[in-house]
Structure 1
C-alpha cells in the first residue's frame, strides 16, 4: 500500500489559550535531553540523565528512586532527597500542556496547577523552582540558564533557572542572570537558545529578538526557532557557538539570520516546520520531507546521526545543540540526531510513544 501526502501550508502561530496544549511545546529538544507530551498529556523524556551527587548518596545508582523525593540516610541522618534528573520527569508531575528544556532540567506548564501561585513547575538538578507568580502561562521556551513564558494576555516573562540564592563559586557567572524582554512586549510565540530569545509579536506577527540577536527589519513570521549560543563544553575556556535564528515567513519561505553556521538556506525553500541548533538547521517541507543544512557535526561523540532525514511523512521538527528530532504524521517520534552516552544507567533511550495531536 502506498500513501501520498499533499502539500500543506505552514500554520500561522495562533495565540495560545489557557488550559490548551501549546503545540509548539509538544516535542522539545534540549542540549542534553528531550521531552515529548503523549496523547494523555503525560511527559516522556530521554537523554543524559544528569543528577546531583551527594557525598554519601548518588541517585544515579538507584534507578528505582528516579523521579521521587525519597528518604535517604546521609552521615547517619535521615533527610529528604530529590532524585530528579534532566531526562526523567518527576512521578508527580501530572498532566502537562507544554515543556521547555534548559541546561539542567525542564520547565513545564501544568494542566492542573499544584501551586496556588503559578501554573509552571521547573524540575531537574540545580533548577530554580521559584517560578513567576502567574497561573495563566500558555507557552514557554528554555535557553541555557533561563526560561521565558507567554501569559494569556501576551505578556512575556523571563527568569533565571539558576537563582541568586543558589549561587556558588561554580555557577557565579550565570546565577540570577537572564535575557530581559523588551518592555511592553506582547507575543504569541517564543523561542530561546543559550542567551538569545526571539518572539512573534501578538499584534502584527513581526519578529522581535534580544539577548544577542537582532531580527531582520519588518520580518513577519508564522514560526521561529533560535539555536546556537550554547557553551561548547568540550573545549577549554568554554567558548560559545554563535547564536542564529530561523523563521517561516508569511509566504512559507525559510529565512535565517545571526552569526551561526546555518545561514545558507537552500534556495527558495518553503516549509511547515523549522528548527535550528548549534551548527545547523532542519526544516520539514510542505510535502513532509526533512531538509537539513549547515556545518556537519557528525564527529561530536555526544550525538549519533542518521545518514539523512528519512521519509516524506514528517510534520514537525525540534532541535538544540546537536540534537534534531522529528514528529511523523502518524505522531511517532523520529530521532535524526540523537543523544548518546557511554555512561549507564545514566542514559535514557527515546520512548516508544505517540506525540499529542489535536
Structure 2
C-alpha cells in the first residue's frame, strides 16, 4: 500500500495511468522490460545462457560454465526461454512455461507446478511469476524471503534472503531480510525493470525518467543513483551496470566491471542485455554475440564457449 497516494497524484497529469481491477493505478501492458530477452544470467561464480539454434525462432537449449561443485552448471535438456543463475543453483522457464531448477538441492527446494512467465534464482531461494500474475517462492525462508505478497506482479527478482517484485502499476514491493534496507524500496517511484544483487542491494530503471535508482547496501557506492536514460540495469555483488539508451554500458561501484579493454574503442559494439555475477559480468551484443569479462577469480565463469551465439 505504501506509495499509492503519491502515484495516484500522477494520474491527473499522465494518460498512462488507468485504474486497475484492484483499485490501484496500472500501467498499460508492455510498460516493463520484455523478460523474454533475458537470455544470459551471471550467477555467483557461474554463467548460464540460452543458445541460438538454426531454424528455431524462439528459445533455445541451455549451456552453463564456471563453478559446478553443486551441479549448478549442468542444465537439463530441452528448450528454454528465460534463465536465472543464483548462488549455487539455477532456474529456467521452458518453452512449455514450466520451471526447472538444478544445482544444490537444499537451495532448490520443491519447485512448484504450474505455468510461469518468469523466474529468479537468489542466494538460497527462488521465486517465479505465474501466468495469472501471482508470485510463488520456494527454497530457504529464514527471513520470509519465500513468503511473497499477494496480488499481481509483472517481474520478481531474488537476492540474498530478500525478494522484490514489480507491480502492474510500476511500484516495487519487497519482502524478506532488511538489515541493509534492501527490502525498503522508494515509495514514490515507478519502475519498468528491477534487479536484486546477491549482496543486499537492489536497483531499478525508473519508468518516467529512465534514470537508475537503488536501495540497500552502498558501502562500495554500488547504489549511487545515475541519470538516464537507461534501458536495463543489473546489480552485482559490489557493483552495478546499466545499458544506456545508445546501448553502451555504464558501471559503478567497487570493481566497475566495464567491458574488457579488448572490446573498447569499437563504436559498433552495443549491448541488448547485461548481467552481473560476483566477480564477472556478461553482455549480449545486438548481433547476438556473448562477451564476458571479470575482475577477479570467477572460476571460469567469464570463459564463453567457442562459437556460442545467444538466442
Same fold (TM over 0.5): yes
CA displacement 1:46-92 (0-9 Å, x = unmatched): 111214xxxxxxxxxxxxxxxxxxxxxxxxxxxxxxxxx212323xx
Residue number in structure 2 paired with 1:89:
75
Question: Residues 256 and 24 (structure 1 numbering): CA distance in 2 closer, same or farther, change over 3 Å?
Answer: farther
Question: Does the residue aligned with 2:228 lie in a helix, a strand or coil?
Answer: coil
Select which of 173, 180, 191 maps to 2:146.
180
Task: Note the C-alpha offset of 1:309.
Answer: 6.9
Question: Residues 150 and 341 (structure 1 numbering): CA distance in 2 closer, same or farther, change over 3 Å?
Answer: closer
Task: Note the C-alpha offset of 1:297.
Answer: 7.5
Deviation >4 Å, runs of 4+: 174-178, 338-342
CA displacement 1:19-58 (0-9 Å, x = unmatched): xxx425321111021111122311111111214xxxxxxx
CA displacement 1:98-142 (0-9 Å, x = unmatched): 2221222212222247xxxxx2221124354631122x1110001
Greater radius of gyration (CA): 1
Residue number in structure 2 paired with 1:82:
none
Name structure 2 gaps, 5 residues minimum. 1-29, 54-59
How far apart, CA to CA, are the structure 2 residues paired with 1:129 and 1:196? 16
Residue number in structure 2 paired with 1:27:
40
1:109 aligns with 2:67: no
Q: What number of residue pairs does the alignment pair up?
A: 263
Question: Residues 348 and 221 (structure 1 numbering): CA distance in 2 closer, same or farther, change over 3 Å?
Answer: closer
How far apart, CA to CA, are the structure 2 residues paired with 1:197 and 1:245? 9
Query: Normalization by structure 2: what TM-score?
Result: 0.75
Query: Normalization by structure 1: what TM-score?
Result: 0.66
How far apart, CA to CA, are the structure 1 residues paired with 2:75 and 2:161? 25
**Contact preservation (8 Å) 1:318, 1:324:** yes
Task: Note the C-alpha offset of 1:152.
Answer: 0.6
Residue number in structure 2 paired with 1:264:
224
Question: Residues 252 and 347 (structure 1 numbering): CA distance in 2 closer, same or farther, change over 3 Å?
Answer: closer
Correspondence 1:140-159 to 2 at 5 A: 140-159=119-138
Question: Residues 348 and 290 (structure 1 numbering): CA distance in 2 closer, same or farther, change over 3 Å?
Answer: closer
How far apart, CA to CA, are the structure 2 residues paired with 1:338 and 1:99? 23
**Contact preservation (8 Å) 2:91, 2:102:** yes
How far apart, CA to CA, are the structure 2 residues paired with 1:257 and 1:107? 25
Could you say what the CA RMSD is over the residues aligned between the two structures, in angstroms? 2.8
Name structure 1 gaps, 5 residues minimum. 1-10, 17-21, 52-84, 114-118, 161-173, 230-242, 299-303
